Structure 1
Amino acid sequence: MKDLNSVHLNGLRAAEAVGRLGSLAAAAEELGVTAGAVSQQIAKTEAQLGRTLFERSPRGLVVSDSGRALLTRLSSAFRELAEAVAQARRRDESVLTVSVAPVFAARWLVYRLDRFAEHHPDIRLRIDATTTLADLETSDVDLGIRVGAGRWPGVRSELLLEQEVFPVCSPALAAGLREPADILKLPAVIDAHAMFSWELWLKTAGLSGAAMTVRHTFNDASLALDAAIAGQGVMLAWQTLAGYALLRGSLVAPFGIRAKTGFGHYFVTSVSRRESKGAAAFKRWVREEVEEGMRQLAAMAG
């Protein structure tokens, strides 16, 4: 291996490419450089090796007798290197890495993972619960689910569900509600990181300009939802956050009035990477689960 230190690798690559492809122009195109640069690299390599690899002729470079054996071995060695790099880049498609916000993972995804495993026993999920949008070009994340306007730079986004918000509270608190204005009598628990305010729903309900009395504020939507379940107040929630608690009966959504936020849940995937079969299967499954959940919530409201 020490002998390699005396010869530039780029020069060996240039020589191998010319020997295999038969011309400076073809080698230059493969290597992404000019023909002149390939010629210079070969000249330097010949000087470093102390032997002539190519005979110069009017028709171009012709492999010399002394260079033929070396170039044959170089071609074999570079094929091994190319296969090693390809293998290192290959993903284990039995493992699917999904990046989601912690609140989506905790309040929607975990309750349903057994059904995914039942339908796709050959796929093992790795859930990356984070609010940071991963670099899908360089990380091991296969796909993400995010809430926003769907315009994130450098990713492909597909709408999964338009976000709607509505009040939720414990059944005990809901028992005293008769009309939308009654909600103003209840204390509110607030998600400090929400991308919307109570005014959005109040306006939809015909109560624009009214104010809620805030009891507690949390920096995490999941904690705010737990406070609502515990009867500490009413929360402005959305479908994937409150759906499971509504179906279980630990929360109630009074009045059936929903307000669109202008945001949505989106799948985000790499622009350049091929979508794996596992990622496609996961997306289909999530869509089916979301659609079924929305049908169940609509049936409850009806």
Structure 2
Amino acid sequence: MIRPYLPLNNLRAFEAAARHLSFTNAAIELRVTPAALSQQVKALEDRLGFPLFSRLPRGLALTDEGRAMLPVLTRSFDEIALLLERLAGSTEAVLSVGVVGTFAVAWLLPRLDGFRAAHPEIDVRVSTNNNRVDIAEEGLDFAIRFGDGAWHGTEAERVMAAPVSPLCAPAIAARLSKPEDLLGETLLRSYRVDDWACWFAAAGLKAPVLRGPMFDSSQLMADAAIEGLGVALVPHGLFAAELDGGRLVRPFAIEADIGAYWLSRLKSKPLSPEMEAFRAWLLAEIASA
């Protein structure tokens, strides 16, 4: 096969801009100015004879030709990077996973040695977040998030149900005999403003006006509940150790379904062997638990 001249810098500029759908973020990744990156993409479009992006008032959208090119280029650049790493003496493939903090602390970290034992050739790099994550900008292969799975530009797979129930310290639980008793307690809040309203609706009650402390993590909220600061509404299944140890009590069996944990990735990023291995391990571990 006779290959035409390949403008690699221009192709790399397009691939980064297409992943981010942003010239600015792509320029940060490639360490060039947005103007220089835009010129490289324009030069590629001129050479090809068709546009790769539709320039919108608030960002970019890929044309049909751009969507066709992106997965091929991403896979090719990933394979080149992997080959160069191996030639340089690296025997480990890197897998970057962003994880919402509660899931990381309560579920993933205690089991991560199992994945490492099964796949010693994969170097897993875990970063935590408060459920607000930009997969493309942070260079992540996966993000494990809590919610409804509807995140723009991502493919999301539901991996774990996470119904919420009130948890509190034993001293507070001793005052609670029926759900109405919660109306006299400090109710700890998350940034999701409707959580308590959903739970009270499941209990057949109207939610009170909430004025308790607000947290950006269920883990922090549970820690605050352990300290006696109030009642936390959290995914109770992730706090089995605290419940078994008596540090937290679940006074009522009523639960509300406000979301689940999802394994998400960019739609434009094909599954690598490392990603396939992590996904299979994660699903198997959750099924066994």
For the aligned pair, the TM-score class normalised by the smaller chain equals 0.5 to 0.7
CA deviation profile, 1:49-99 (whole Å, cap 9, x unmatched): xxxxxxxxxxxxxxxxxxxxxxxxxxxxxxxxxx99952365786321101
Given that 1:104 and 1:240 are in contact with CA atoms closer than 8 Å, whether structure 2 keeps it comes out as no
Deviation at 1:257, TM superposition (A): 0.9
| Alignment TM-score, normalising by the size of structure 2 | 0.62
Deviation at 1:240, TM superposition (A): 6.0
Aligned equivalents of 1:218, 1:160: Cα separation in 2 = 24
Alignment equivalent of 1:250, drawn from 228, 247, 250: 247
Deviation at 1:259, TM superposition (A): 0.9
| 2:231 pairs with 1:234 | yes
Aligned equivalents of 2:235, 2:107: Cα separation in 1 = 11
Partner of 2:105: 106
Q: 3-state DSSP class of the match of 2:181?
A: helix
| Alignment TM-score, normalising by the size of structure 1 | 0.59
Q: Which runs of 5+ in 2 are unaligned?
A: 7-45, 50-75
Cα 1:287/1:248, change in 2 over 3 Å: farther
Cα 1:199/1:129, change in 2 over 3 Å: same
Partner of 1:168: 167
| 2:270 pairs with 1:278 | no
Partner of 1:134: 134
The one-letter code of the counterpart of 2:263 is F
Alignment equivalent of 1:203, drawn from 201, 204, 226: 201
Cα 1:105/1:272, change in 2 over 3 Å: same
Given that 2:196 and 2:207 are in contact with CA atoms closer than 8 Å, whether structure 1 keeps it comes out as no
Cα 1:143/1:210, change in 2 over 3 Å: closer
The one-letter code of the counterpart of 2:133 is L
The one-letter code of the counterpart of 1:221 is S
1:1-302 equivalences under 5 Å are: 13=5, 33=48, 87-88=80-81, 94-130=93-129, 131-136=131-136, 140-191=139-190, 193-194=191-192, 196-207=194-205, 209-211=206-208, 214-239=211-236, 241-261=238-258, 263-293=259-289
The one-letter code of the counterpart of 1:290 is I
Aligned equivalents of 2:77, 2:192: Cα separation in 1 = 47
Deviation at 1:229, TM superposition (A): 1.2
Q: 3-state DSSP class of the match of 2:161?
A: strand
**Bigger Rg over Cα:** 1
Partner of 2:43: none
Aligned equivalents of 2:125, 2:142: Cα separation in 1 = 11
Q: Which runs of 5+ in 1 are unaligned?
A: 1-11, 15-30, 35-82, 294-302
Cα 1:13/1:186, change in 2 over 3 Å: closer
Cα 1:98/1:174, change in 2 over 3 Å: same
Identity %: 32
Cα 1:212/1:120, change in 2 over 3 Å: farther
Given that 2:163 and 2:235 are in contact with CA atoms closer than 8 Å, whether structure 1 keeps it comes out as yes
